[in-house]
């Protein structure tokens, strides 16, 4: 804990760990670390996309903009829904591997060699 | 289609104490609301499929029987590749929520602390007691993976944990709790008003209020009542009291006290004792102590009401129990599993509330549907995160009724 008047290093402090042992989700710890990075990056790309959308909307509406305009921008209901849909579609794109694994679980396809062999016979 | 989409972060009501977010900070939370819905909705189904298609068959082959306890399901599922990946995703989502929220709060902590101090000095709505400690069941781990728990400080007297709780709840709940994250408290109010339209409680106690999300709407709905909101964590109370003052809600006081010892209030002092999402964060010994104290300070004819996720029962499939237990082991909720396994009716009865005075009611978050779509619950069970709860309660019998029952 810092002294009451010392300036805080908010970047350093923000990453503090929660007390309690973190479960290992994978046998290789590198995978656990990689997940943290990949999904933090995913959040950043999503935020960048939103920022780009804000810039485009402000330019459409006003033909010019300032940083203050971007910071003050709040989507109205229709814009909020368009952006929500865009974020949903974005999440669907980066998560395809996981989503298709669920579909595959449902389908229980046989290994491709089974099909190859069957077609060579039938 | 549109009704499936969570609202943007900017739809939240920004009361004076709410930390300000930059454009990109709001956008990160928007990502998390979508990501969380995706994990529980679109790909959440993978857990059940993995269980039914391979984990359960393998368990049967190995043991010659079905699992008999949710912990057996958990041991088996924790070896499943899909469930491990899904859990890693969800854990990361929780960690990002904390990290993003802490960046928002810590970079403006000087302003937030100063504002909270001002509100709290002028409102008289905050009463701290340095003799009260955060109980051991709250400090063994940081609950919800919230760095610092509900009580930690970055420097003496700060509001970090309370402010971070307020700023990020939206992301965790996918926006399902409404503009002020008070959909649970509003649900309680609606339930009470429908149940007893003419009831006007005068003294209300909320135990474990944190920052008062769900106690404030009760104060607003009963302006003639005095609400006492207690918590052991000063760091949360400081923010909560300032938040209520900033919202102009005056008939609520935030008092640092433990529910285990309500000695400062006489027998029968309160007309209503409320807990919201509280009992599951205690311990096996603390819960009955708190309920007994609650019984003592509740007036005959008064209401006790606990809002919680549904208790496990033999009627609830083991797989569902296992999924509802996820937070216990992956999101630092160490009493969650044991608490939900208890027979709450019996625990309440042991605390003095006769079984026949008790009831269980279902309540769901009340939010402004013009801004906030309802919680995505139909067909997409969120196992403990959807904004639908059980209310476990009792009307404390009048003395005469107790005699008849005895
Ligand atoms: C999950 S939070 C409650 C959420 C809050 N009721 C709401 O509706 O937003 C649990 C809270 O209980 C507090 N707490 C834990 N043990 C307590 C005790 N013995 N007496 C009073 N508060 C306690 C914690 O500090 C924490 O703020």
- Determine whether the shortest distance from the Cβ of B233 to ligand 1 is under 6 A: yes
Complete DSSP assignment for B247-264? TT--SEEEEE--TT--TT
Distances (CA, A) of A46 to A85, B86, B88, B277: 12, 20, 20, 32
- Determine whether the shortest distance from the Cβ of B327 to ligand 1 is under 6 A: no
Supply the pLDDT for residue A53.
97
Q: Are B367 and B178 spatial neighbours (Cβ–Cβ below 8 Å)? A: yes
CATH superfamily, domain B8-406, is Vaccinia Virus protein VP39 (3.40.50.150)
Span from the CA of B232 to the centroid of ligand 1 (angstroms): 7
A46 pLDDT exceeds 80? Answer: yes
Beta bridge partners of B207: B230
Cβ–Cβ below 8 Å for B155 and A3: yes
Give the 3-state DSSP-derived string for B213-227, with helices as H, strands as E and coil as C: CCCHHHHHHCCCCEE
Q: Which of B145, B140, B135, B156 is nearest to B207 (CA)?
A: B135
Supply the pLDDT for residue B397.
97
Cβ–Cβ below 8 Å for B23 and A70: yes
Supply the pLDDT for residue B378.
47
Distances (CA, A) of B300 to A58, B54, B406: 61, 54, 15
Q: Are B190 and B370 spatial neighbours (Cβ–Cβ below 8 Å)? A: no
Q: Are B144 and B333 spatial neighbours (Cβ–Cβ below 8 Å)? A: yes
Supply the pLDDT for residue B383.
64
- Determine whether the shortest distance from the Cβ of B308 to ligand 1 is under 6 A: no
Beta bridge partners of B227: B204, B252
Instruction: Give the alpha-carbon dihedral of B252, B253, B257, B258, to 10 degrees.
Output: 10
Beta bridge partners of B226: B203
Residue owning tokens 């109980």: B135
Supply the pLDDT for residue A3.
62
Selected for mutation to probe chain B from A3, A4, A34, A39 (highest B CB count within 10 Å) is A39
Mean confidence (pLDDT) of chain A? 93
E-assigned strand segments in B20-82? none
Span from the CA of B276 to the centroid of ligand 1 (angstroms): 8
The whole-model pTM stands at: 0.93
Q: Which of B370, B361, B396, B151 is nearest to B269 (CA)?
A: B396
Beta bridge partners of B276: B307
Region at A2 (left for phi over 0; alpha for psi -120 to 50; beta for the rest): beta
Span from the CA of B43 to the centroid of ligand 1 (angstroms): 32
Nearest-Cα residue of chain B relative to residue A67: B23
Supply the pLDDT for residue B175.
78
Backbone φ and ψ of B308, nearest 5°: -145, 165
Chain A residues with CB under 8 Å of B99 CB are 14-15, 40
A73 pLDDT exceeds 60? Answer: yes
A1 pLDDT exceeds 70? Answer: no
Supply the pLDDT for residue A5.
67
How many C-beta neighbours within 10 Å does residue A22 have?
13
ipTM of this predicted structure? 0.90
Supply the pLDDT for residue B1.
41
Selected for mutation to probe chain B from A15, A20, A107 (highest B CB count within 10 Å) is A20
Cβ–Cβ below 8 Å for B42 and A17: no
A105 pLDDT exceeds 50? Answer: yes
Supply the pLDDT for residue B405.
47
CA distance B137 to B335: 8
Supply the pLDDT for residue B2.
52
Q: Where are the domains of chain B?
A: 8-406
Chain A residues with CB under 8 Å of B8 CB are 74-75, 80, 83-84
What is the pLDDT tens value at each position of chain B, 406 positions in all?
Answer: 455 788 999 999 999 999 999 999 999 999 999 999 999 999 999 999 999 999 999 999 999 999 999 999 999 999 999 999 999 999 999 999 999 999 999 999 999 999 999 999 999 999 999 999 999 999 999 999 999 999 999 999 999 999 999 999 999 887 789 899 999 999 999 999 999 999 999 999 999 999 999 999 999 999 999 999 999 999 999 999 999 999 999 999 999 999 999 999 999 999 999 999 999 999 999 999 999 999 999 999 999 999 999 999 999 999 999 999 999 999 999 999 999 999 999 999 999 999 999 999 999 888 777 667 655 554 445 565 567 899 999 999 997 665 544 4
């Amino acid at each position: 804990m810092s002294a009451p008047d010392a300036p805080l290093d908010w970047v350093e402090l923000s990453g503090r760990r929660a007390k309690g042992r973190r479960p290992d989700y994978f046998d290789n710890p590198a995978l656990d670390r990689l997940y943290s990075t990949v999904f933090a990056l995913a959040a950043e790309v999503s935020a960048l996309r939103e920022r780009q959308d804000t810039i485009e909307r402000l330019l459409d509406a006003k033909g010019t903009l300032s940083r203050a305009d971007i910071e003050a921008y709040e989507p109205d209901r229709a814009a909020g829904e368009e952006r929500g849909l865009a974020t949903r579609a974005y999440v669907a794109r980066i998560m395809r591997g996981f989503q298709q694994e669920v579909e595959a679980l449902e389908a229980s396809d046989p290994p491709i060699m089974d099909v190859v062999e069957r077609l060579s016979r039938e | 289609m549109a009704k499936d989409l969570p609202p943007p972060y900017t739809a939240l009501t920004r009361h004076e104490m709410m930390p300000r977010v930059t454009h990109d900070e709001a956008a990160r939370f928007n990502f998390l609301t979508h990501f969380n819905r995706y994990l529980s909705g679109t790909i959440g189904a993978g857990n059940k499929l993995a269980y039914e298609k391979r984990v359960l068959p393998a368990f049967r082959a190995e043991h010659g029987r079905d699992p008999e306890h949710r912990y057996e399901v958990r041991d088996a599922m924790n070896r499943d590749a899909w469930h491990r990946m899904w859990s890693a995703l969800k854990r990361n989502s929780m960690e990002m929520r904390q990290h993003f929220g802490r960046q928002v709060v810590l970079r403006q902590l000087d302003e937030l602390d100063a504002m909270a101090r001002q509100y709290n000095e002028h409102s008289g709505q905050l009463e701290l007691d340095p003799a009260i400690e955060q109980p051991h069941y709250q400090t063994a781990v940081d609950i919800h993976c919230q760095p610092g728990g509900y009580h930690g400080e970055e420097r003496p007297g700060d509001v970090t944990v309370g402010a971070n709780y307020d700023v990020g709840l939206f992301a965790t709940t996918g926006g399902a709790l409404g503009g002020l994250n008070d959909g649970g408290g509003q649900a309680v109010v609606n339930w009470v008003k429908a149940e007893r339209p003419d009831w006007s409680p005068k003294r209300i106690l909320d135990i474990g209020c944190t920052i008062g999300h769900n106690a404030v709407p009760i104060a607003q709905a009963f302006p003639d009542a005095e609400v006492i909101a207690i918590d052991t964590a000063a760091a949360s109370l400081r923010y909560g009291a300032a938040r209520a003052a900033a919202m102009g809600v005056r008939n609520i006081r935030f008092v640092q006290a433990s529910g285990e010892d309500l000695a400062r209030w006489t027998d029968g002092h309160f007309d209503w004792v409320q807990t919201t999402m509280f009992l599951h964060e205690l311990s096996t010994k603390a819960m009955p102590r708190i309920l007994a104290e609650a019984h003592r300070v509740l007036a005959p004819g008064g209401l006790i009401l606990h809002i919680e996720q549904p208790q496990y029962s033999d009627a609830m499939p083991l797989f569902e129990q296992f999924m509802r237990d996820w937070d216990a082991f992956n999101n630092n909720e160490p009493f969650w599993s044991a608490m939900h396994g208890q027979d709450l009716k019996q625990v309440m009865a042991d605390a003095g509330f006769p079984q026949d005075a008790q009831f269980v009611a279902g309540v769901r978050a009340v939010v402004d549907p013009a801004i906030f779509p309802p919680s995505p619950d139909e067909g997409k069970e969120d196992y403990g995160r959807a904004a639908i709860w059980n209310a476990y309660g009792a009307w404390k019998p009048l003395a005469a009724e107790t005699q008849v029952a005895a």
